[in-house]
């Protein structure tokens, strides 16, 4: 959420940001409602001051004067109620409009409408060439007996799967390896709630615009998160750090994640690329409101994810994400896309985002600066690892002619020394 003062003073900049992010929000109407609210609140505050002044004098008044004062206080209360009746719908409209206002992208962000307009800035690793006919991850997984998609669909519907045998061990190895790596870098590891209230969804800007992608437990007013970011950012919601020296806070959260994938009917239906439930380790940082520090921490998060892919020996490229492919609150974003042979292209496995104070304002997360000034924190996040999507390049790139799959060297200790997964039905 942006500061309304910033919007008043930079309305054209905010309009341009909304246009470039393809977000339809009426900034002129927001400012009109804001002006009406300010005038009504000022008038109501004057009446409240008068009411309070008269009320405090009543005990010292004589009988007739006391009766007149009491009657006048009642009249003022009625006027205040009238103002409240006018203010309430305007405040509701104001809040709704404010939640739609996007964060303003940094100047370096390319202007564009879709992921086709993202700009490649780095390519790492060589795309391998096989001297045999390769299988895609589905055929490999079925032969290895590590994934069962048909029974997943039978039990839970489309985009569902069972991960089994060495497939489950491989996912667990990935998660533990990544957590160990991040803990060594100073992150606090956390297992987080995956069912959350509505407030954290609004606080992290997944509501209102992302509501259609979220599974809701309506009886309990709870929602299944699509990323541990929701819970990790909200961990310090409505809190103020007493000293800037407590920052940055660096968390890595392990969680199951859930997404409805609304609007993707018929898209990526084969295999494990686009599923409803997945497991992820997410990196989240809360830092002081310093643009230079946020910039460095963003690159730090991005580098962590790159190191993970390098350790796994998965070729990838990094793209600078354009305005139309960014979320409502993001001001700087990079995607890492891993090479997936069966798709014949790089495909997204990690997203790294900076928010300035957008999430912290919504979540009310503050700190006291060196001079005692209270400020909103800045927030950042990036995927560390997400499965089963990462299993696509991992399986496909490490396959052998006999259908076996090599375990990346860095994961062998986490697999009990296993170096290869063999087909079950040679």
For every residue of 148-190, DSSP letters joined together read EHHHHHHHH-TT--EE-THHHHHHHHHHHHHHHHHHHTTPEEE
Q: Is 270 noted as a catalytic residue in this protein?
A: no
Out of 176, 211, 260, 274, which one is annotated catalytic? 274
Out of 231, 347, 351, 354, which one is annotated catalytic? 351
Q: What is the rounded distance in angstroms from the CA atom of residue 92 to the CA atom of residue 88?
A: 6
User: What is each CA distance from 39 to 43, 45, 82, 148, 289, in whole angstroms?
Assistant: 6, 10, 14, 63, 31
Q: Give the DSSP H/E element, type plus range, for residue 14.
A: helix 11-20
Q: What is the rounded distance in angstroms from the CA atom of residue 370 to the CA atom of residue 236?
A: 20
Q: What is the rounded distance in angstroms from the CA atom of residue 324 to the CA atom of residue 177?
A: 34
Out of 51, 259, 332, 343, which one is annotated catalytic? 259
Q: Is 259 noted as a catalytic residue in this protein?
A: yes
Radius of gyration of the chain (CA): 27
Q: Is 35 noted as a catalytic residue in this protein?
A: no
Chain centroid offset of residue 59 CA: 56
DSSP β-bridge partners for residue 145: none
Out of 176, 348, 404, 422, which one is annotated catalytic? 348
Torsion (CA) 293, 299, 302, 308 in degrees, nearest 10: -110
User: 380, 401 in Cβ contact below 8 A?
Assistant: no
Which residue, among 22, 210, 2, has the nearest Cα to 111 in the 3D structure? 22
Omega cis (within 30) before 309? no
Q: Is 261 noted as a catalytic residue in this protein?
A: no
User: 378, 353 in Cβ contact below 8 A?
Assistant: no
Q: Is 38 noted as a catalytic residue in this protein?
A: no
What are the residue numbers of the active site? 259, 274, 348, 351, 389
């Amino acid at each position: 959420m942006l500061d309304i003062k910033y919007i008043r003073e930079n309305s054209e900049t905010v309009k341009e940001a909304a246009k470039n992010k393809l977000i339809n929000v009426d900034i002129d109407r927001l400012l009109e409602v804001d002006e009406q609210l300010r005038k009504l609140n000022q008038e109501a505050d004057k009446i409240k001051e008068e009411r309070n002044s008269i009320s405090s004098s009543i005990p010292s008044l004589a009988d007739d004067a006391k009766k007149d004062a009491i009657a006048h206080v009642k009249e003022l209360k009625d006027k205040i109620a009238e103002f409240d009746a006018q203010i309430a719908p305007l405040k509701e409209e104001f809040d709704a409009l404010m939640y739609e206002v996007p964060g303003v992208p940094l100047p370096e962000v390319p202007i564009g409408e879709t992921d086709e307009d993202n700009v490649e800035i780095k390519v790492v690793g060589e795309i391998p060439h096989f001297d045999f006919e390769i299988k895609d991850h589905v055929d490999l997984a079925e032969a290895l007996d590590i994934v069962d998609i048909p029974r997943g669909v039978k039990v839970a519907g489309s985009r569902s799967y069972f991960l089994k045998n060495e497939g489950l061990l491989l996912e667990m190895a990935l998660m533990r390896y990544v957590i160990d790596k991040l803990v060594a870098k100073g992150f606090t590891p956390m297992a987080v709630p995956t069912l959350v209230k509505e407030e954290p969804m609004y606080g992290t800007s997944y509501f209102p615009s992302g509501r259609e992608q979220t599974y809701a437990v309506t009886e309990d007013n709870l929602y299944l998160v699509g990323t541990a970011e929701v819970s990790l950012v909200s961990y310090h919601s409505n809190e103020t750090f007493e000293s800037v020296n407590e920052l940055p806070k660096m968390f890595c959260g392990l969680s199951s994640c859930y997404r409805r994938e609304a609007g993707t009917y018929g898209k990526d239906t084969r295999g494990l690329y686009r599923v409803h439930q997945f497991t992820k380790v997410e990196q989240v940082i809360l830092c002081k409101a310093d643009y230079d520090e946020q910039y460095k921490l963003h690159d730090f998060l991005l580098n962590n994810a790159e190191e993970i892919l390098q350790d796994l020996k998965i070729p990838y490229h990094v793209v600078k994400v354009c305005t139309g492919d960014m979320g409502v609150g993001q001001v700087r974003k990079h995607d890492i896309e891993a090479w997936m042979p069966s798709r014949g292209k790089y495909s997204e496995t990690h997203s790294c985002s900076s928010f300035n104070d957008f999430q912290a304002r919504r979540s009310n997360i503050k700190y006291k600066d060196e001079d005692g000034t209270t400020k909103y924190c800045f927030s950042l996040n990036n995927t560390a690892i997400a499965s089963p999507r990462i299993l696509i390049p991992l399986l496909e790139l490490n396959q052998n002619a006999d259908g076996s799959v090599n375990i990346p060297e860095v994961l062998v200790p986490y697999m009990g020394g296993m170096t290869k997964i063999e087909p079950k039905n040679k």
